[in-house]
């Protein structure tokens, strides 16, 4: 049985964690950020990997709608 890592003091102070990833957009990579409600980076990363198909679809839909001014696609936890 695997134990879930407890959030560190710094993670508690930082609040919910975000994970970044990239998707291919032709010959370039598009940076994306997924904001979660999870307290640790490892849980946020696990959430991203578990829900990758949904998250990737959302990122591609956002990319098709147009890239925001800062050049990043920002998503929220589904």
Residue 62 lies in a domain: yes
The whole domain housing 54 covers 11-76
Point out the residues of the chain with pLDDT beneath 70: 1-5, 11-12, 69, 78
For the chain, what is the domain count?
A: 1
Q: Is 49 exposed, middle or buried (0-12, 13-18, 19+ CB in 10 A)?
A: exposed
Q: How far is it, in rounded angstroms, from Cα 52 to Cα 47? A: 8
Residue 31 lies in a domain: yes
Residue 4 lies in a domain: no
Residue 6 lies in a domain: no
Residue in the block written with tokens 């999870």 = 38
- Mean pLDDT rounded to a whole number for the chain: 86
Global confidence as pTM: 0.78
Q: How far is it, in rounded angstroms, from Cα 18 to Cα 44? A: 7
Residue 23 lies in a domain: yes
Q: How far is it, in rounded angstroms, from Cα 58 to Cα 37? A: 18
Residue 22 lies in a domain: yes
């Amino acid at each position: 049985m695997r134990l879930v890592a407890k959030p560190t003091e710094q993670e508690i102070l930082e609040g919910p964690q975000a994970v970044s990833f990239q998707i291919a957009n032709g010959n370039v990579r598009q940076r994306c950020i997924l904001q979660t409600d999870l307290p640790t980076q490892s849980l946020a990363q696990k959430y991203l990997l578990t829900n990758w198909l949904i998250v990737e679809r959302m990122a591609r839909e956002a990319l098709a709608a147009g890239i925001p001014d800062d050049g990043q696609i920002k998503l929220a936890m589904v």
